[in-house]
C-alpha cells in the first residue's frame, strides 16, 4: 500500500476552547492506534489542572499524552521550544508505527509544527528586516544620510511616486521602512513590492507543509458554545479554581524575570483566563472587605471571565478561518497536502455520530489511502458553509494588517543614534510571536525599570529639597 500514511502522516485537531478537542483526540487515538501531543500553551505547564482545563489521567483511557504538564510554572516556554519538542515527539511516534495526534487551541503552536518556515520566508514574511538577502541592499547608513535632510512626509511621497504599492504598506512616519523600500529600488533597480510579489510566487510553489496532515476543525455554533463555556466557568469555580488562582499568584510573585511587570498578563500561565479577571476579588479576600463587597467582586470576576472566554473563542475562530484554512487550501495544489474537515459538535447528544464516528471514519481513511478521502464539503451542511467561506489561499504580505509595538519602538531621544526606530509586525501571528519574544520582553522590563527609577528619583529630589528647607 504505497499511499499509507503510517510513519509520515499527522492528525491535527483544532477549534475553540471548551468544544471537546481533548475528548476527540482520545477517541481518535484509540481508533487509529495514535498518541496525543498537546498543543495548548497553558497545558504544557505542571499542575493548575482546573484553570488550564487539562484532561485527567482517567479520561485519557490509557492513551499516551505528550508535552502535557511538564514545564515548571515559573519557567518560560517558548513557541520555538515547543516546535522542537513536538517535532521530536512526532518522529518518535512515527517510529513506533503509530499516529501522532496534535491537539490544542494555541494557534501558533499548531502552525509552528504543521508548516515549515519557508526557505524564502525572510523576504516574504518580513520585507523590512535588515537581514533580508536582497542583492546589494545593505540597509546602509550612507543611504540614510543621503536623505537626512528630507522630512518623513517628503520621503513617503517620494516612495509613493516610484512604488505606490509599498508606500501604501507603510505609515509615512515609519521612516526606516520607507527608506528601506527606497533603498531596495535604488540598489536593485526594481520596486520593493515586486521583490515581495516574486518571493510570494516562489513560495506558492514551495512545499511548506511538514507532514501530510488531516486537520479537524471541531466546531460548535457560537450561541450554543457560549452557553457551554459559561457553564464551564461555574463548574471550574465549583472544582476549586480560586485555590489554584491564589496559588498561581503566590508562585509567580517572586519570579519577576518571568512574570514581568505587574499588570502584564502576556506570558506563560498568567495568560490563564481567570487570573486577571479574579485579581481584584482574590486581593480583596485577604483584606477586611465586607462580605457584600466581596460578593460583588466575585460576581464581577465571573462576568469578566465569561467575556474573556468568549473573546478568546472568537479569536480562535478568526485564526482558523482567516489563516489556517487558507494555508491548508494553499497546499492542495502541492504534493504534501493539509486536508481540513469540519466536525459539528454543536449538539452534544449527537457527538457519537457526528463527531466521534465521522471523525474516526475520516481518520482511518486518511491513514489507509489519503486519495480516497471524501470531499470535506459533503459531510455536513455546516462543513459546506464554513469551508466555502474560507479564502482560497493566504493573503499577500502586502495586504496583511500591520501592528505597531510602542514598547520596542524608540523615539529619536531614546535611540542611541538619534534616529527614531519603529517596530511594525506584519500580521497577527507575527505580532503574537513578537509579544512573546525575548527582545520584546527585555524592552518591556527595561521600560518598567526606567519608569520606576524616574518616579523614585522624583521622590528623592522632593525629599532632599524638603530637608534643605529644614536647614
Ligand atoms: Zn515589542
Tens of pLDDT along the chain (471 residues) come to: 445 667 789 999 999 988 999 999 999 999 999 999 999 999 999 989 998 999 999 999 999 999 999 998 878 888 889 999 999 999 999 999 999 999 998 988 999 999 987 544 433 334 444 334 454 455 567 778 888 889 999 999 999 999 999 898 887 877 888 888 898 888 888 898 888 888 777 777 778 899 999 999 999 999 999 999 889 889 999 999 988 888 888 877 655 444 444 444 456 787 788 888 888 888 888 787 788 888 999 899 999 988 888 888 888 898 898 889 988 988 888 889 999 999 999 999 999 999 999 999 999 999 988 888 999 988 888 999 998 877 776 666 676 677 888 898 888 888 887 777 778 776 777 787 788 888 898 999 889 888 888 877 766 665 544 443 333
Ligand 1 geometric centre to CA of 260 (Å): 14
What's the CA-to-centroid distance between 270 and ligand 1, angstroms? 18
403 CA → ligand 1 middle, Å = 10
Q: How far is the CA of 408 from the centre of ligand 1 (A)?
A: 4
Q: How far is the CA of 435 from the centre of ligand 1 (A)?
A: 6
CA 410 to ligand 1 centroid distance, Å: 10
Interval between CA 156 and ligand 1 midpoint (Å): 24
Q: How far is the CA of 80 from the centre of ligand 1 (A)?
A: 17
Q: Give me ligand 1 centre to Cα 442, in Å.
A: 9
Å from CA of 277 to ligand 1 middle = 24
Residue 407 CA to ligand 1 centre (angstroms): 5
- The residue assigned the cell 464554513 is 386
CA 434 to centroid of ligand 1, rounded, Å: 6
Could you tell me the distance, in angstroms and rounded to a whole number, from the CA of residue 436 to the centre of ligand 1? 9
Specify the pLDDT at position 98: 95
Å from CA of 159 to ligand 1 middle:
26
Kindly give the distance from the C-alpha atom of residue 222 to the centroid of ligand 1, in angstroms, as a whole number. 33
Report how far ligand 1's centroid is from the alpha carbon of 76 (Å).
Answer: 17
Distance from residue 426's CA to the centre of ligand 1 (Å): 13
Whole-number Å distance, alpha carbon 399 to ligand 1 midpoint, is: 21
Domain annotation for the chain: domains and CATH numbers: 10-116+207-241+316-389 (3.40.50.300), 121-204+396-436 (1.10.20.140)
* 453 alpha carbon – ligand 1 mean position (Å): 21
Report the separation in Å between the CA atom of 409 and the middle of ligand 1, taken as the mean of its atom positions. Answer: 7
Amino acid at each position: 500500500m504505497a499511499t499509507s500514511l503510517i510513519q509520515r502522516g499527522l492528525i491535527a485537531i483544532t477549534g475553540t476552547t471548551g468544544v471537546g478537542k481533548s475528548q476527540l483526540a482520545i477517541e481518535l487515538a484509540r481508533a487509529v492506534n495514535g498518541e496525543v501531543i498537546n498543543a495548548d500553551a497553558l497545558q504544557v505547564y505542571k499542575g493548575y489542572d482546573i484553570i488550564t482545563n487539562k484532561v485527567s489521567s482517567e479520561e485519557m483511557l490509557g492513551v499516551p499524552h505528550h508535552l502535557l504538564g511538564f514545564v515548571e510554572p515559573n519557567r518560560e516556554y517558548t513557541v520555538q521550544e515547543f516546535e522542537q519538542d513536538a517535532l521530536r515527539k512526532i518522529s518518535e511516534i512515527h517510529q513506533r508505527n503509530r499516529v501522532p495526534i496534535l491537539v490544542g487551541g494555541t494557534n501558533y503552536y499548531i502552525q509552528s509544527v504543521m508548516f515549515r518556515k519557508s526557505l524564502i520566508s525572510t523576504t516574504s514574511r518580513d520585507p523590512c528586516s535588515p537581514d533580508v538577502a536582497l542583492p546589494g541592499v545593505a540597509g546602509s547608513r550612507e543611504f540614510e544620510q543621503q536623505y537626512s535632510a528630507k522630512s518623513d512626509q517628503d520621503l513617503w511621497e517620494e516612495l509613493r511616486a516610484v512604488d505606490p504599492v509599498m508606500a501604501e504598506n507603510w505609515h509615512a512616519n515609519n521612516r526606516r521602512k520607507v527608506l528601506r523600500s527606497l533603498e531596495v529600488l535604488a540598489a536593485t533597480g526594481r520596486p520593493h513590492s515586486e521583490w515581495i510579489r516574486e518571493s510570494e510566487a516562489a513560495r506558492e510553489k514551495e512545499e511548506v507543509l511538514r507532514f501530510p496532515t488531516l486537520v479537524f476543525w471541531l466546531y460548535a455554533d457560537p450561541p450554543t458554545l457560549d452557553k457551554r463555556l459559561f457553564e464551564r466557568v461555574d463548574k471550574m469555580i465549583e472544582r476549586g479554581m480560586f485555590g489554584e488562582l491564589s496559588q498561581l499568584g503566590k508562585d509567580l510573585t517572586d519570579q519577576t524575570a518571568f512574570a514581568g511587570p505587574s499588570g502584564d498578563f502576556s506570558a506563560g500561565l498568567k495568560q490563564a483566563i481567570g487570573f486577571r479577571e479574579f485579581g481584584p476579588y482574590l486581593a480583596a479576600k485577604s483584606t477586611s472587605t465586607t462580605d457584600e463587597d466581596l460578593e460583588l467582586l466575585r460576581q464581577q470576576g465571573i462576568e469578566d471571565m465569561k467575556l474573556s472566554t468568549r473573546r478568546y473563542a472568537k479569536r480562535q475562530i478568526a485564526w482558523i478561518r482567516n489563516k489556517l484554512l487558507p494555508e491548508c487550501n494553499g497546499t492542495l495544489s502541492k504534493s504534501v497536502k493539509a486536508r481540513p474537515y469540519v466536525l459539528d459538535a454543536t449538539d452534544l447528544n449527537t457527538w457519537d455520530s457526528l463527531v466521534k464516528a465521522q471523525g474516526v471514519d475520516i481518520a482511518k481513511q486518511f491513514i489507509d489511502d489519503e486519495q480516497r478521502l471524501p470531499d470535506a464539503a459533503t459531510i455536513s451542511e455546516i462543513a459546506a458553509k464554513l469551508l466555502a467561506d474560507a479564502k482560497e489561499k493566504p493573503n499577500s504580505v502586502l495586504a496583511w494588517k500591520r501592528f505597531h509595538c510602542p514598547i520596542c519602538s524608540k523615539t529619536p531621544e531614546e535611540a542611541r543614534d538619534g534616529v527614531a526606530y519603529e517596530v511594525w509586525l506584519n500580521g497577527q501571528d507575527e505580532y503574537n510571536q513578537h509579544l512573546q519574544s525575548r527582545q520584546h520582553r527585555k524592552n518591556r522590563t527595561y521600560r518598567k525599570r526606567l519608569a520606576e527609577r524616574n518616579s523614585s528619583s522624583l521622590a528623592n529630589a522632593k525629599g532632599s529639597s524638603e530637608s534643605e528647607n529644614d536647614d
